[in-house]
Structure 1
Amino acid sequence: NNVPNIVVLGSGGGLRAMIALLGTLVELKNQNFLDAVMYLCGVSGSTWCTSLLYGDGKWSENLMSLEKELCKNLSNFSWNTMKAVESLQESSKDELYSLTDFWASCLVHKILQQFDENELADHKEASETGINPYPIYAAVDKEKLSEEGGNFPGTWFEFTPHEAGYAALGAFVSTKHFGSEFEKGKLKKKKKKKHICYMQGNKNASIIP
C-alpha cells in the first residue's frame, strides 16, 4: 500500500513526440525503472509509439528489438498508396467521415510506413499480463479546451483497451462498441469498430469528429 503509482506521460508533437517517448522508454528500461511504471499515457504523436508497442504482448521485455524494428520502418520511405485509396473509399461510406479519415489513411500511414488494421481492444492481452504498463490514450476537444482552459478535465477523451469515454459527460463505453451509437446509455446501433490507424490519426489531430 505504500508503493506509489508511477505514470509516464507522453506529450504531443507528431513524429518527434513518438521518437522522444520511445527513447525515454528505452532509457527507463536501461535504468531498470520501466518495471515500476504502472500507467503509460499519451496524446497525439506519443500515441503512435504506444499503439505500435502494444501490438507485442511482451513489449517491455522486447523493447530493444522493437526499437530497432521501428527505426528501420521509419527509415523506409515507401508506402502503399493503393491501400490508402481503398481505406478512404471505405471510410467515405460512413456518415461520420471526416478529415481524420484522410489524415489517418494518408499522412499517418505514410509517416509510420504502416497501416495498422487491428483494433484497440486487441491490445487487451498486452495490458492485462502485468508485464507492461497499462495504456491510456487521450485526445482533446479543441472547442471545449478554448472555453474552459487547458487544466479542465472535461476537455479530454480517454481510450484504453477496455473502454472509451468523455470525462465532460461522465460517459464511458466498452471499447468493443467504440464507434457505435448510444442513446441514454443504451446501445442504439452497432457499427464497425475503428482500427488503430484511424485512432492514430484521430489522436494526432487531437479532436474527435
Structure 2
Amino acid sequence: MSPALPDVTDETVTAWALAAAGGDSEAVDRFVRALQRDVLRYVAYLANDAQAADDLAQDTFLRALTSLHRFEGRSSARVWLLSIARRAVADRLRGAARRPRAANTPDWEDTVERAQPTGLPGFDEGVTLMHLVDSLPPDRREAFMLTQVYGLPYAEAAKVARCPVGTIRSRVSRARVNLAVMMADEPDTAHRHEPAAA
C-alpha cells in the first residue's frame, strides 16, 4: 500500500470515495491512502492477530473497491469502510474457527507501532496505553478505538459496531473506567508522572 496521507476530514475522504465511484483513479489512490492506517489498526485490534492485519486490510480495500460503485455517501466513507473491515474480520474468524490453529502468535504491537511515528513526545505512554486498551473486553475495546482513537461520533461508531448509540456510550464509559484503574495499577505510568525528588 502507498504511504498514508496526513489527517484529512471525513467530508474530504467521502468526496474522494464518491469521485472514485465515478471512475476518478486519483481519487481512488487518495481514498485508500487516507484510510489505510485506520483500517490496518482496526483489523489488527478486531482480529487480535497482527500477522493477519495486512491481509485483512488488503481484503477490506479489495471488497470496498469492488463495491465502490454502490457507495452513495449516505454515511461517511470512513464509517462505510470500517463496516467492511469488520465484516472481513468476522469472515476470517469464522473461517479460522472451522480449521485447527497451528500456533497463537498475538503480536499486534509490532503492526500498531509500524503504523505510527516513533520518537514523538508521549510516544512511550501511547504504546503503554495501547497495551492496556488491548486487554479490554473486545466490545469495549472496539467502542473505545472507534470513538477515542479514530474520532468517530458515537452515532457513526454505533453503525460500524451494529449496536445502539447508548450501548456505544456505555462501552466507552466502562472502557475509560477500566483504563483508569489499569493505569493506576501500571508501575511504569505511575512512576512516570510522579514529581522528581528534590
The interval holding the TM-score normalised by the smaller chain is 0.3 to 0.5
Task: Provide TM-score, normalisation by structure 1.
Answer: 0.32
Higher relative contact order structure (alpha carbons within 8 Å, sequence separation ≥ 6): 1
Task: Give the structure with the higher percent helix.
Answer: 2
Task: Provide TM-score, normalisation by structure 2.
Answer: 0.33
